[in-house]
Amino acid sequence: MTELAIPLSLLAVIFALVAFFYASVGLGGGSSYTALLAIFGAGTAVIPMVSLTLNVLVTTIGSIVFLLHRHGRLRLIAPFLISSIPMSYVGGMLHLPKTLFYLVLLVSLAFAALRIYFPGKTKPLALSDRGKFILAIVSGAILGLVAGIAGIGGGVYLVPLIIILGLGSAKEAAACGAFFIWANSVAGLAARLQYHSIDLAVYMPLIIGAVVGGMAGSILGAGRFEPQTMQKILGTILVVAIIFLTRKLAVAMI
């Protein structure tokens, strides 16, 4: 285990809070788990493995809760999954150099933050059913690859994309985001367990913290919280992570 810059117990509390806010809008939290682990000194082989594991656990809870509230639709999410699952497995097979890994992570976090703070056009795009299907296949493949490489489920991109395409409501998008992250994280984690081995038992406090926070966030998010409010909180988390990760990348490149 790489020595972290803060106690594992403190990081577990932070992860619980992150999981709470992410799960409240149907997301797994992989983007922030990955960023926090990178900031506090975890190795690049450890980071995706832990993040993907936490994604699976948090979105398993979220998927069940949102489905119980009848927000999820398999027909809506299926086109994205067709391409994302195999590409997530491919991404999980890869082990990028530290500098390149940080760069991929930083770019993905920046796009996520921009998507939250500058949502742009919210009116559904005027695309044919065929056009929407093709866009879903292409975007699913890209998000799946990033998910496997960096441990980011891709839900933070998928949720607004579903709304922009006019495929579902905010609650339906959140439910599909949870299942999308779960499926990609399972595929990416399967590849990493096959090609990269670490002792996840060491990180059990992080797992427990994320599960507890994710359960609370899913229950409250599916019934009470407004997605827009939670997304602004997520944006704040991402901006802070981007600032620290930029510094980390600058040091790594020296």
Q: List pLDDT tens digits, range 27-62.
A: 667 777 887 887 787 877 788 888 888 888 877 776
Cα–Cα distance for residue pair 206/146, rounded to 1 Å: 22
Cα–Cα distance for residue pair 223/220, rounded to 1 Å: 5
pLDDT band at residue 85 under the 50/70/90 scheme: very high
pLDDT band at residue 3 under the 50/70/90 scheme: low
> When comparing pLDDT for 246 and 153, which is higher?
246
Region 4-21: mean pLDDT is 87
CA dihedral 151→204→216→221, nearest 10 degrees, is 0
Region 195-214: mean pLDDT is 83
Mean pLDDT over each residue of the chain, to the nearest integer: 78
**Single-letter residue type at 229:** T
pLDDT band at residue 2 under the 50/70/90 scheme: low
> When comparing pLDDT for 76 and 85, which is higher?
85
pLDDT of residue 193: 84
Closest by CA to 227, choosing from 172, 181, 167, is 172
181 and 66 Cβ atoms separated by less than 8 Å: no
> When comparing pLDDT for 71 and 85, which is higher?
85
